[in-house]
Amino acid sequence: MQIRIRSGGHDYEGLSYISENPFVIVDMRNIRSISIDTEGKTAWVQVGATLGQLYYTIALKSKTLAFTAGVCPTVGVGGHFSGGGYGMMSRKHAIAADNVIDAKLINANGQVLDRDSMGEDLFWAIRGGGGTSFGIVLAFKVKLVIVPETVTVFNVSRTLEQNATQLVHKWQYIADRVDENLLLRLFLRSVRSPTNGNRTIRASFTTLFLGRVHDLLPIMQEKFPELALKEQDCIEMSWIESTLFFAGLRNESLHVLLSRTPQTGIYFKGKSDYVRQPISIQGLRRIWRFLNEEDENRAGLQFSPYGGVLNTLSESETPFPHRSGNIFMIHYGISWTKDGSTESERHINWIRRFYTFMAPYVSKYPRAAYYNYRDLDIGRNNEENTSYKQASVWGFKYFKNNFNRLVRVKNQVDPSNFFRNEQSIPPLS
């Protein structure tokens, strides 16, 4: 029997709760207590906690402490920290895994280890080397980050008729270079134009600035005047309120962060890429055409800027290797509601064609991908004896050269491959 470990259950391919082989689920959802040490600026977080619960609990204790991790409050700490954890403060405070300073893990022999007893190699591997492969993580100890009492957010949208192509083009030249307190994330969707009813692309610049609006406006004026950001587009709020804003829950009370109910009734496929050279205007126009092939409001791209502190960490600091040289990460997503294999096939074929079409615009050798946006299309292990060769197909994309070190650690701590799934790190033989 295989062991499937589930914390928040948000794995894109459902690897925490489905398998073609006989399996049992180790469900961590009730192991979710959080203790905050405001003096030491640290927290112990059990893996069944959600990001929303973590943010809420920190905010109960302090207005100026926070944590750097993803946007969706129902995502689980267990899978998210194990695979990286990019969020709206990542240009300033890196990703969740970079801020893990201790952990508790059950290994394949059933021993409970902490950082001291597991040793630095295994501790390195579980901070971004992906869930499942090395054992069951029970809890992570993290460094909290300091945020100002007031931060500024905005979400400004422009369609093609409002110059979106030129704006997206210019964005690529500033997004990874601006002040690291500023993270301008870009969401692109094919929608119907409010003016003429035709299909168009809507580019939404969704932004967090770790500071006040009067400090933000001069930066935007200097670096990105084309967006014509106005003071009235910006809203000042606390960091915890900004987590609601980015989750699309702005008018809800903070308690909504404790809900574990994810969006239901939606079928979804996601993929990822890294961009190292700006895409030309002509390239962007070809991308818009591809987006417009899909049903309105169903297909979306997220461009998440890198740079800032992510540039200062080496590729081998943690297994997450996406550091200097990346301008932004692309997240491709397509969602649909109708059941049925023909409908699913149509959308999945579309996103696969899109991914093939994007090859000239994105990173090469390897074509890098983000582990937390799990995608079995980029390769999977053999059913029984996972070979190094087979796993290298997807392994170098997620981890670059860190893949080899992950294999060595796996060899040391779980040579019989007790913990495995379709994209787990294989031992050498």
373 is catalytic: yes
Peptide bond into 366 cis (omega under 30): yes
Half-sphere exposure of 13 (CA within 13 A, CB side): 19
User: Rounded to the nearest whole angstrom, what is the least distance from the CB of residue 360 to ligand FDA in the complex?
Assistant: 26
* Closest alpha carbon to 130 in 425, 426, 392: 425
User: Rounded to the nearest whole angstrom, what is the least distance from the CB of residue 17 to ligand FDA in the complex?
Assistant: 7
Long-range contacts from 382-385, C-beta under 8 angstroms, 24+ separation = 383/20, 383/21
Distance CA 120, CA 203 (A): 43
Q: 31: buried, middle or exposed (CB in 10 Å: 19+, 13-18, 0-12)?
A: middle
User: Rounded to the nearest whole angstrom, what is the least distance from the CB of residue 299 to ligand FDA in the complex?
Assistant: 16
User: Rounded to the nearest whole angstrom, what is the least distance from the CB of residue 213 to ligand FDA in the complex?
Assistant: 24
Q: Which is nearer to ligand FDA, 70 or 366 (CB)?
A: 70
Distance (Å) of CA 234 to CA 169, 186, 242, 413: 23, 16, 12, 50
Q: Which is nearer to ligand FDA, 223 or 271 (CB)?
A: 271
Q: Which is nearer to ligand FDA, 255 or 266 (CB)?
A: 266
Q: Where along the sequence are the contacts to ligand FDA (CB under 6 A)?
A: 4-12, 15-16, 28, 47, 70-72, 75-76, 78-80, 82-87, 131-132, 136-137, 372, 421
Q: Which is nearer to ligand FDA, 152 or 372 (CB)?
A: 372
What letters, b where the CB count within 10 A reaches 16 and e where it falls short, cover 302-333? bbbbbbbbbeebebebbbbbbbeebbbbbbbb
Please identify which of the residues 56, 306, 373, 398 carries the catalytic annotation: 373
DSSP code per residue over 16-28: TT--SS-EEEEE-
Q: Which is nearer to ligand FDA, 80 or 269 (CB)?
A: 80
Cross-sheet strand order for the sheet of 151-159: 235-237, 151-159, 199-209, 182-192, 299-305, 328-336, 267-275
Q: Which is nearer to ligand FDA, 57 or 200 (CB)?
A: 57
User: Rounded to the nearest whole angstrom, what is the least distance from the CB of residue 90 to ligand FDA in the complex?
Assistant: 9
Q: 219: buried, middle or exposed (CB in 10 Å: 19+, 13-18, 0-12)?
A: middle
User: Rounded to the nearest whole angstrom, what is the least distance from the CB of residue 136 to ligand FDA in the complex?
Assistant: 5
Taking each helix axis from N to C end, the angle separating 402-413 and 115-125, rounded to the nearest 10 degrees, works out to 140
Q: Active-site residues: which are they?
A: 373
